[in-house]
Structure 1
Amino acid sequence: MTYENPDGVKIGLEVHVQLNRLKTKVFCGCTTDYHSDPPNTHVCPVCLGLPGSLPVINKKAVEAAIKVGLALNCRIEEHTQFYRKNYYYPDLPKGFQITQYDFPISSGGYITIEGEDGEHKVRITRAHMEEDPGRLVHEGTIDRSKYTLIDYNRSGMALLEIVSEPDIRSPKEARRYLDKLRNILEYLDVFDGNLEGALRVDANVSIMGGQRAEVKNISSHKGAERALLYEIVRQKNVIRRRGTVVQETRHFDEAREITVSMRTKEEAHDYRYFPEPDLVPLKISSWAPAIAETLPELPDARRLRFIEQYGITDEHAKALTSELKLAVFYEDVAGRVDPRMAAVWVSDVLKGELNYRDLTIDAFRKEHMISIIEILANNKITEDGAVDIIRTILDKGGSPEEIVKEKGLLKVEGDIVETAAQEAIKENPQAVADYKAGKEKALNALVGQVMKKTKGRADARTVREVLLKELK
């Protein structure tokens, strides 16, 4: 099956990843632990760009960048060099940004995502290092702001810009690409995606082979999907009105969920790149083999191992390896109970309940999950009862054993189920008549009545069997 893309949508993403697991910034000794502190309190002459200050490269930042390049199947270049990218913006105190240009640290990689028509490779053009500028805080929206405040705490943080080829064909694929990229980065332990500014996206999008628009500074995966949806519709409307889609830079207004024009197209020569005179080129090809040996098991490799080792489905393996903490949680549970049963309850039930409450896996103790599956496997509670226990723990706390006792969730069988089935048949003659007239759905109504009478403590499959026996 071939994916049809009638509008010729092409999307390429530039993802700015903050390497915030480092202790210090990329060119100075300022701490990276600034997120909960007042503005402009983690700065020095280097990150403020004061005259006479000189940058010194953070070796750990280079090693982290090589690690990411290897994980993205990139080629680590023989040597890398820093450049000055010259432009003026209030959050850039030096009047230029130290970045990489002709000699990025890695290039030519790919990420495999779940595309619109099966697995799909998105090529990585390059991943290069640079410094983060400061943070602008607008009063209101960017196009209507009365004033703008500047916080330089973020200035000088180590960034890795990961640039993809325009291989992404829909906003949904873009979101899956970002999810997969974040997943890989978390496995590598090079960044904390929960911190403000940790991952920012610039999206390049065009349709029908027209000019591209670049949407800047998108701060979330959901925001990227919404920005692209809006931008594709906007470009289609321009063409439908016989207009011309011009190459420009646009800003995504998250509050209004629209993009607004910022400036017309820019080219590389507009930035007057030239080598950074205060930083020498780095020969890094010899670093790669040693760093490659330190790479952890990555998501795709762990997914294949889960399928082989635990005998679970590919769908469950993908869900369970989509987050590092979830994968670790599952393995700890699967080591104590039936792995297949654990896969169903962790990926399908627990993850769904956590998502509904906007919680992470940290909100649930693995010992509780083990207890619930053990009680269920011993046929002491129903599946509905197990779900009730999970919901109660998340909403009110407590242990599985306490909740089973307090709510009376122990499964009922035998005479109690038979008595409830007989009462349901006697009290619902119309449902009985409908079933005997060939309406199968009527049986479901009777099952529901029995479950109500037993307060959900009977096994639905057993109830169905008992009802069929009584109805005959």
Structure 2
Amino acid sequence: MKYELVAGFETHIELATKTKIFCSCTTAFGGAPNSHCCPVCIGLPGTLPKLNREVVNFGIKAGLATHGEIAEISKMDRKNYCYPDLSKAYQISQLYAPLSIGGYVELSNGRKIRLHHIHIEEDAGKLIHQHGDTYVDYNRGGVPLIEIVSEPDIRSIDEAKEYVEKLQQVMRYIGISDCRMQEGSMRCDVNISVRPEGSETLGTRTEIKNMNSITNIAKAMEYEYERQVDLIESGGKVVQETLRYDDATNTTSSMRSKEDAHDYRYFRDPDLVTINVPRDVVESLKAEMPELPSDKCKRYIEELEIPEKDAQLLTKYRKISEFFDKACEGVKSAKSVSNFIIGQIFRRTETEADKETFDVSITPEQLNELVKLIDSGKIRNNLAKATLEKMLDSGKGALDFISESDMAGLDENTVNELCKQAIENNPKAVDDYKNGKEKAIKALVGNVMKNSRGKADAAAVEQKLKDMIS
């Protein structure tokens, strides 16, 4: 029997506010243990929380970016459980009236992964296990989160990976989080079940907690899918439980039986007021939103005639797309700008972290100036490529390396003379071309372009060489 994977995600994203959700402590990553804490965020008796308005704004932006409906009335609840990383024995979260309802994330195959809701909440502290002892660091406690809860719409590991990547990309674009999974600012709980292919009935699910790597999410899902299938086919039953994933052994193991909402005894937090989000506030925040990556990618393809693969590379990170947009202003061909970025500049930004920051030595205005020199016919593409390398090495503009004589072009007599010299100095290439090796002409063209310092028209030179040899 064939089985179908069914998965849904609960994705926790730390918000890039300067202070915590209910107090003025910093949200900066790192720092000495328990140095970013105060009586409010560690829940000392007599303290009262005060909701950070920017947290609500960021949550609204997340909802808008994922096509959700922003609730006019939203409330905070207490989620009660006793664990060492939660000093007051409850987490302030949302259950009954979350900030954003519905929405979806669209995948490249056209499928829309529906969202149940997005809510805001506080993060817990962190347990550190060393040499048989356990320490608690409450620096992370009270850092604001959004939790994005999807419907069980994911049907493959590839879809799961793309879903997480899309969420990460969108949240970075709208500027509410850096979503650095290695630092814990984006973490996923994966709910997974299996069912016979063609069945509409959901199987018993397990939840793999606190996944902070897309690679490990894929490995854990593959292992858990196979485990559940083997269990069912051997006559056993899947038990609803919470699991941890061990990347060293590539296995999942039980943490505890899976809780339902009633196990947490949710009730309205009595210390926090109701959140009212008027429509004019929503519209104001919507006006601040940047163009989303999916819309930008579509525009590049349809309006700027950029190939789809290139458009996806240009829109993967917001800083790259912003650089590209500025460099394209007023140019004849956006494809020329794209080629320079994806070709030469990307070679100097090798890692994904480099591309995310995109801290290159030239400005988009400098690249724009170089491309406009090509557009005007003052320089050829080969000279532009060589010039760009010098610009990237130095941070200087194109005109620091291109002289008036470079932009003057070549008269026909000079081109003819250079072609004759190329033919005379490269007899083997000439013989190879005469014997049917079409690519041999490229060596002759390269010789002319080198001796003309890129000023000759490569296409015209190639035709002239063919005529001369014939």
Of residues 163, 175, 180, the one that matches 2:166 is 180
Q: Conserved in 2, the CA contact under 8 Å of 1:27 and 1:156?
A: yes
User: 1:60 corresponds to which letter in structure 2?
Assistant: E
Query: For 1:156-167, what aligned pairs fall within 5 Å after superposition?
Result: 156-167=142-153
Pairwise CA distance, 1:257: 8.4
Pair 1:82 & 2:76 matched = yes
CA contact (8 A) 2:62 2:171 kept: yes
**TM-aligned CA distance change 1:155 to 1:318, over 3 Å:** same
Deviation of residue 447 (structure 1)? 1.2
Q: Matched residues in 2 for 1:464 and 1:395: separation?
A: 31
What is the SS of the residue equivalent to 2:44? Answer: coil
Specify the alignment match of 1:26 in structure 2. Answer: 21
Residue 328 of structure 2: aligned partner:
334
Q: Is the 8 A contact 1:417 1:463 kept in 2?
A: no
What whole-Å deviation, never above 9, does each CA across 1:18-51 have from its counterpart, x for those lacking one? Answer: 122x33211122233x225333211111211223
Q: Structure 2 stretches of 5 or more lacking a match?
A: 197-202
Amino acid at match of 1:369: L
In structure 2, the CA distance between the partners of 1:52 and 1:371, relative to structure 1 (3 Å rule), is: same
- Counterpart Cα distance in 1 of 2:187 and 2:440: 51
When the two chains are superposed, the root-mean-square deviation of aligned CA atoms in Å is: 3.7
SS in 1 for 2:85: coil
User: Which segment drifts farther, 266-275 or 339-348?
Assistant: 339-348
Question: Does the 8 A contact of 1:253 with 1:260 survive in 2?
Answer: yes
The change in CA–CA distance for 1:429 and 1:197 in structure 2 (over 3 A counts) is same
* Residues 339-348 or 329-338, more deviating: 339-348
Q: Distance in 2 between matches of 1:399 and 1:57?
A: 49
Residue 16 (structure 1) aligned to one of 6, 12, 19:
12
Cα contact 1:77–1:107 (8 A) shared by 2:
yes
1:267 to 233, 249, 259: 259
Which is further off, 87-96 or 185-194? 185-194
Task: Tell me, yes or no, if structure 1 residue 114 matches structure 2 residue 108.
Answer: yes
In the TM superposition, what is the alpha-carbon distance from 1:161 to its structure 2 partner? 0.2
Change (3 A) 1:388 1:273: farther
What TM-score do you get using the length of structure 2 for normalisation? 0.79
Q: Within 2, Cα distance between the matches of 1:60 and 1:185?
A: 15
Is contact 1:447-1:460 (8 Å) kept? no
Moved more, 408-417 or 322-331: 408-417
- Aligned partner of 2:221 in structure 1 is 231
Give structure 1 stretches of 5+ with no counterpart.
1-5, 140-144, 436-441
Counterpart CA distance in 2 for 1:448 and 1:11 is 56
Alignment-derived partner of residue 187 in structure 2: 200
Q: Is the 8 A contact 1:421 1:463 kept in 2?
A: no
Q: Which moved more, 1:103-112 or 1:346-355?
A: 346-355
The corresponding residue for 2:117 is 126
Corresponding residue of 2:200:
none
Paired position in structure 2 for 1:376: 374
> Which residue identity lines up with residue 209 of structure 2 in the other structure?
K
- Say whether the 8 Å CA contact 1:104–1:129 is kept in structure 2: yes
Distance 2:305 2:424 in 1: 43
Distance 1:238 1:157, change over 3 A: closer
Secondary structure at 1:356's aligned position in 2?
Answer: coil
Aligned residue number for residue 428 of structure 2? 427
The 2-side partners of 1:57 and 1:111 are apart by: 28
Q: Are the structure 2 counterparts of residues 308 and 434 from structure 1 closer, same or farther at C-alpha, using a change threshold of 3 Å? A: closer
Pick one of 211, 225, 234 that aligns with 1:218: 211
Question: Pick from 250, 272, 283: which aligns with 1:292?
Answer: 283
Residues 234 and 73 of structure 1: is their aligned pair in 2 closer, same or farther, counting only changes over 3 Å? Answer: closer
C-alpha separation in 2, matches of 1:170 and 1:468: 55
1:465 is displaced (CA, Å) by 2.7
